[in-house]
Structure 1
Amino acid sequence: MNAPVRSTPLLVFSRVWRSYGEGDTQIHALSDVSFEIEQGAFVAVTGPSGSGKSTAMNILGSLDIPSRGAYCFMGNDAGRMDRVARAELRNRHIGFVFQGYNLLPRTKALENVELPLVYRGLSAHRRRALAGKALAQVGLEGREHHRPGALSGGQQQRVAIARALVSEPTLLVADEPTGNLDTERSHEIMALLTELNRQQGLTIVMVTHEADMAAFAGRQIGFRDGKIAFDTDHEAAR
């Protein structure tokens, strides 16, 4: 019997180093890190402050490149791309969600969600239609014309998630997405991310220092001192 053909992972870290400084003052934020993430995975990246998790996230999101080693996204070496090509990769394939929401305070929810589409040159009519659909997807029908100050923290984070979803990304990168929320709102956001992963097959990589939030993910990769301390795949164990 022929062995099943293994699909190419969505993301591959291959012996990645990220160093800052030179000589005796050089610091290795990442040291010889290797792992793969499959399409449709939900992965929590954890670790204490200074462990390397944020550096790894920046490389995953093509905001930074390795000093040594290779980072491949959809089979392409993103570390060898120039800034223009990496910006295009982010715009086309990666949605970002941050702890601080990063919404424009004087801009309505609908307009905040439209922003990624402006760079694609879509018409205003098309942008608004897609932004409205994304807001409905995160349960914010009727809030399209509210400014961030008129929304709760949980609602603001939903707007931020809608903004990340509106361009239909291949990968959602979430950096401490519940860090500014209380426990109830945090669980609501995690339930939404879980639904997006399970129902739509969206690949999610989330940085968090909260163990109860990390538990929502199917896999946890823990960093310490710039290296992987553990890699636990709960889905594979089922």
Structure 2
Amino acid sequence: MSTRARILEVAAGLVARSPDGDISTRAVCEAAQVGAPALYRHFGDKEGLLSAVVDHGFDQYLATKRQREPGPDPVEDLRDGWDGHVDFALRNPNLYRLMNSPAMRTPPASALESHTILTRVLERAAVQGRLRMAPEPAAQMIMSANVGVALMLVSRPTTFTDSATSARVRDAVHAAVLVPNATAASPDTGEAGGSDEAGVATAAARLNALLRRSPRSPLSPAETGLLSEWLDRLSTTRTG
């Protein structure tokens, strides 16, 4: 094992075992049996070391997501993704708090990858006409709620004691971004049980997702970009 890998492994272990999730560079150097110059050479400073620990944590979190093949039902994949996220947080509370700490000034690239994976699942739902809005704002809503619930569960376990809280918030957020019962909207009546405006948003999100998947288009790049902008506006602007 390289010196960098050993320092990183030791630091991750100390974060996991720390009562408050904080560590000192001195403790890391002692546990890894290296001098401070070696740590600073590989990571720059304590923030650089913690950033590397966060990257390592995101890699652990994304390992199963990268390997998993998309299922036939994107809505079920959304539910599994939410539950897996919360499960990871509960199994790695200190690491999870660090991964989502506002003190980390530079978001790791893996955080963007996590958001991208979620957006792709939502794009599949949009193609099936099961999304109320464009995939990107839907991803922002789901991710912020998922992280918020997970942080509350790991940071305030004596307050958030109901094991069903996560599922209730999940279902409420999914209800806000998905067509009721996650069924495709009718072209005549719009969204099942909803307004005409909601049906327009669902149809716009679906058409936009289909256009992005289409390998060929009779439209020019400029026309495609303009149409995509209009559809995105229709799928994200609330008219009612």
- Shorter-normalised TM-score: what interval? under 0.3
Q: Taking structure 2 as the reference length, what is the TM-score of the superposition?
A: 0.25
Q: Which has the larger radius of gyration?
A: 2
Greater fraction helix: 2
Structure with greater strand share of residues: 1
Answer 1 or 2: higher relative contact order, Cα 8 Å, separation at least 6. 1
Name the TM-score, length of structure 1 as normaliser. 0.25
